[in-house]
Structure 1
Amino acid sequence: MRDQLNQNSYEPRVTGRKQKRFFGFKLNSVFFTFAFLLFTFAFNLLSFNLSAQKQRFPKPEFDTGYEQPSPVTPEPRALAMEYFDVFMLLVVLSAATYFALKSRSRQGVLWLSVFTLGYFGFYRLGCICSIGAIQNVTLTFFDSAYAISLTALLFFILPLLFTLFFGRTFCAGACPLGAIQDLVVVKPISLPKWLNKTLGLIPYLYLSLAVLYAATGTDFIICRYDPFIGIFRMDATFLMIVLGIAILLMGMFVARPYCRFLCPYSVPLSWMSRFSKHHITITPSECIQCKLCTHSCPFDAIDFPTNEKEVVKSGLGAKRFLTYALVIPLWIALGVFVGAKSHTFLSKANQDVYLAELLIEHPELKNDPDNIDVQTFLASGKSMDELVNEATVIREKFYIGSMIAGGFMGLVIGITLLNTVVFRKRQDYEPHKGNCFSCARCVDYCPVEK
């Protein structure tokens, strides 16, 4: 059996002078924001205490000292309320698009993100989430027994559709994970371009692993390792609490670190945003090259006009471009090789694979009454041969999936290197369509009126 298992092993508009700000926007805005967050926290805490006291059925009385545990995962909502959540998402997406593109109001985007944090974050406890819906969609394609809910499907599709037409307005004011990071930005620093590009590869890796684990029915790792879900639900493991606090502390200086360097949903959002026709612009009309916006973006998402040195460099980089283009197939092959070699390790996260290996290496655990996993398996009536066969099938899926994920990462690395020598001529200061969160910070720095 062992051989069988291992076979496939801000302020009002700036007019040229810098105005006094506090954390990037008006002082009273900060007070109102934190007052709102404090009120939301107190309301959730009070609601939690009241709901604990008012149960539909009274607690059973035990003489053994048993204490009834409280559920960590929120219970499913009524269908009408799920549709109401979709309606609220549509409203918030529309409002974010209006504030970013039409009224060009940073204050509007800011207060909308506060509302999003309160409703989709603290009130809805971060569930359902467009980011985590990636896994629901993936599992639908690979498991015929699983049927995705209409709500989860719409939460996945609607932000992508808005992004395709209007840029990443979902990130601006409709995502609670982005909102909670946006409110703690104190003194953002600019990262070197090479570091931005290197860290920007992590979301692709995270997306690859999330799709792999969801496709094999192993786990929903995006939800399991959501760093802010413990803050929204006021309940999480110690590790996730530390991770969430660490990201927020980092976010005081490196703006939105999760959105920029971890979020797997940012990958398709970035792809869609590059093709958006109605994307936010820094200036409402013609750029006057005043350079006031150059340091306005804490996300390093503003592209500067090209200078003569870059034009000369572009002519010299043709040979390097050709070299990088020819090397892309090698990157893909290397990724496939690494994926094939790592599938055994990655598959150990699957419960069936883990249990099969555990019982093969330690058959004496069948007699251990304290091992819950083993005792649950024995109580299921499933034979050891059946478990090993199922684990073998799952490992084969990991073998194929890991190679695809590795090849995808090789392609991403190759294209990223190729983009470092691609020349794009620009005459004005423009937001980078793929990386811009449409937060409207830069528009406050532009003195040009409509």
Structure 2
Amino acid sequence: MKRLCLLIIPVAFSLFSCQVALGVERFPPPDFESGHQLPQTTYPPAREGVYEYIDVAVLLGALSLSSYLVLRRRSRREIFALMLFSLLYFGFWRKGCICPVGAGQNIVLSVFDSSYAVPFVVVLFFLLPLVFTLFFGRTFCAAVCPLGAIQDLVVLKPTAVPFWLESTLRLLAYLYLGAAVLLAATGSAFIICRYDPFVSFFRVSGNLNVLIIGACLLVIGVFVGRPYCRFLCPYGVILRQLSRVSKWRVTITPDECINCRLCEDSCPFGAIRGSTTDWPKRDYNKSKTRLAVLIILAPVLALSGALATRTASGWLSRAHPTVRLADRVYLEESGKVADTTDASLAFRGSGKPIEELYTDASNIQAKIGLGSLIFGVFIGLLIGVKLIKHSIRWHRTGYEADRASCLACGRCFDYCPREQVRLKKIKEGAEGGE
């Protein structure tokens, strides 16, 4: 019954949100011919600055508590309780804003555009989870991120994803991150915020297409744990790399692994790596040859990536409003379209020369073209590094949580018999103290 309720909650939010979005489209403002004027749109006042720092304080407290619960208390129940609080506060109460996942776009834009000033609170929201990850692993993902929390609630029948497929799907997150950085750096768009799949649920309104995407991810999440976190989250790409070198990390067992294999299937996110002591011997000469071939192929992959993204740069440049406006004005000037748009009418009313608009659009396209080349080289090299990494044999004497992939959810703790012994000793000590 509990699992059924957890499944019904996000579906209900999805249906309700879709009704809200459809309601906006079905009932546009009426067009009166009697001279009636629509009332002026009003907006609620911005939150006072002190409340923003309260949000930062809550984030800092939640990160600290999450790290303590994961590494010291080792309690899945308490981690789950904190996760629910984060979902309610950062998700439904704060409407998913400010979000560390999308805050990086503001940072990037401020680096490439000196006229853009990024709020200090946004910088803190972006940096605090990274700092905690560098020391304690992905405790932000464990119980603080509302995007992860809403997905965690629907993990009911998790199915293992083959390692090769999971490794391939993770490339999508790198592509998403690269596109987001490129478009933010050129002032084109903040696509992470625009296509956030769950913020519409938090606000109970939004674009219908994005709502459908979010609902689909939640349905997939019933069988594939946290699909957005694992395969799409651009912020997760950064967290993965920092978690590899974290000072402390999640361990399945509180002391020495006895290779009982009870934890093997406990992780719905495929983050547990088994012992390699029973692996068959391999022909290391073939391994060395394959490794050498992959190293030689790395420049070829980089060049291929550059060519692929350079081809797509024209499509990416259309995300910038100036480029879209220039294309529209060109179509109108050449007589290929008869009607006009609000944007083109506003431009003509501004008195700005068309040649200047074309020049601005051309400069933007050149910047995006250069950025696309760099982006393509990065993706090509990334694929090469992944192939090289998978050709290397990593030695493990026991079962352990993968540093990069582990979301620190704490599910594996209850499956370890050594952990049960530890908890029993704590309980006996508490009873003896009484």
Shift of 1:193: 1.1
Q: How does 1:147-186 map to 2 (within 5 A)?
A: 147-186=117-156
Partners of 2:95 and 2:337 lie apart in 1 by 41
Q: How does 1:367-382 map to 2 (within 5 A)?
A: 371-382=341-352
State whether residues 339 and 402 of structure 1, in contact with CA within 8 Å, keep that contact through their aligned partners in structure 2: yes
Shift of 1:376: 1.7
The structure carrying a bigger helix percent of its residues is 2
Structure-1 residue corresponding to 2:48: 78
Q: Which amino acid aligns with 2:399?
A: Y
Partners of 1:377 and 1:132 lie apart in 2 by 31
1:211 is aligned, of 146, 159, 181, to 181
Question: Residues 415-443 of structure 1, C-alpha deviation per residue, up to 9 Å, x if partnerless?
Answer: 11111111110001010000100111101
Q: Which amino acid aligns with 1:267?
A: V
Q: Which amino acid aligns with 1:355?
A: L
2:366 is aligned, of 396, 400, 406, to 396
Structure-1 residue corresponding to 2:311: 341
Partners of 1:132 and 1:319 lie apart in 2 by 42
Partners of 1:210 and 1:155 lie apart in 2 by 18
Partners of 2:4 and 2:88 lie apart in 1 by 15
Question: Residues 235-284 of structure 1, C-alpha deviation per residue, up to 9 Å, x if partnerless?
Answer: 11110111111000010001100000100001110000000121010000
Q: How many residues end up aligned between the 2 structures? A: 402
Structure-2 residue corresponding to 1:59: none
Question: Residues 26-73 of structure 1, C-alpha deviation per residue, up to 9 Å, x if partnerless?
Answer: x5x987x799x79xx8xxx9xx9xxxxxxxxxxxxx9626266676xx
Matched position secondary structure for 1:137? helix
Question: Residues 369-416 of structure 1, C-alpha deviation per residue, up to 9 Å, x if partnerless?
Answer: 761111121222211011011101101101110001111111111111
User: Given the alignment of the two structures, is residue 259 of structure 1 paired with residue 229 of structure 2, yes or no?
Assistant: yes
Shift of 1:368: 6.9
Matched position secondary structure for 2:312? helix
Partners of 2:55 and 2:342 lie apart in 1 by 38
Question: Residues 165-222 of structure 1, C-alpha deviation per residue, up to 9 Å, x if partnerless?
Answer: 1100000011000000001111000011111011010000000000000000000000
State whether residues 182 and 255 of structure 1, in contact with CA within 8 Å, keep that contact through their aligned partners in structure 2: yes
1:66 is aligned, of 29, 38, 52, to 38
State whether residues 332 and 338 of structure 2, in contact with CA within 8 Å, keep that contact through their aligned partners in structure 1: no
Partners of 1:334 and 1:155 lie apart in 2 by 36
- Structure 1 residues 253 and 314, CA, compared in 2 at 3 Å: closer, same or farther? farther
State whether residues 331 and 337 of structure 2, in contact with CA within 8 Å, keep that contact through their aligned partners in structure 1: no
- Structure 1 residues 75 and 258, CA, compared in 2 at 3 Å: closer, same or farther? farther
Structure-1 residue corresponding to 2:246: 276
Tell me the percent identity: 44
Structure-1 residue corresponding to 2:214: 244
5+ residue gaps, structure 1: 1-21, 49-61
Shift of 1:342: 2.0
Q: How does 1:317-336 map to 2 (within 5 A)?
A: 317-336=287-306
Partners of 2:227 and 2:213 lie apart in 1 by 12
Structure-2 residue corresponding to 1:287: 257
Q: How does 1:346-361 map to 2 (within 5 A)?
A: 346-361=316-331
1:194 is aligned, of 141, 154, 164, to 164
State whether residues 365 and 374 of structure 1, in contact with CA within 8 Å, keep that contact through their aligned partners in structure 2: no
- Structure 1 residues 317 and 367, CA, compared in 2 at 3 Å: closer, same or farther? closer
Structure-2 residue corresponding to 1:424: 394
- Structure 1 residues 360 and 128, CA, compared in 2 at 3 Å: closer, same or farther? same
Q: Which amino acid aligns with 2:112?
A: F
Matched position secondary structure for 2:117? coil
Q: Which amino acid aligns with 2:259?
A: Q
Matched position secondary structure for 1:148? coil
Question: After alignment, is 361-370 or 389-398 more displaced?
Answer: 361-370
State whether residues 7 and 154 of structure 2, in contact with CA within 8 Å, keep that contact through their aligned partners in structure 1: no
**How does the TM-score come out when normalised to structure 1?**
0.84
State whether residues 101 and 234 of structure 2, in contact with CA within 8 Å, keep that contact through their aligned partners in structure 1: yes
Partners of 2:349 and 2:158 lie apart in 1 by 55
**How does the TM-score come out when normalised to structure 2?**
0.87
Partners of 1:446 and 1:396 lie apart in 2 by 56
Q: Which amino acid aligns with 1:394?
A: I
Matched position secondary structure for 1:418? helix
Partners of 1:162 and 1:416 lie apart in 2 by 26
5+ residue gaps, structure 2: 21-33, 423-434
State whether residues 314 and 421 of structure 1, in contact with CA within 8 Å, keep that contact through their aligned partners in structure 2: no
- Structure 1 residues 370 and 183, CA, compared in 2 at 3 Å: closer, same or farther? same
Partners of 1:385 and 1:118 lie apart in 2 by 51
Matched position secondary structure for 1:107? helix
State the Cα RMSD in Å: 2.6
- Structure 1 residues 389 and 96, CA, compared in 2 at 3 Å: closer, same or farther? same
Partners of 1:374 and 1:415 lie apart in 2 by 46
Q: Which has the higher contact order (CA 8 A, sep 6+)?
A: 1
State whether residues 366 and 375 of structure 1, in contact with CA within 8 Å, keep that contact through their aligned partners in structure 2: no
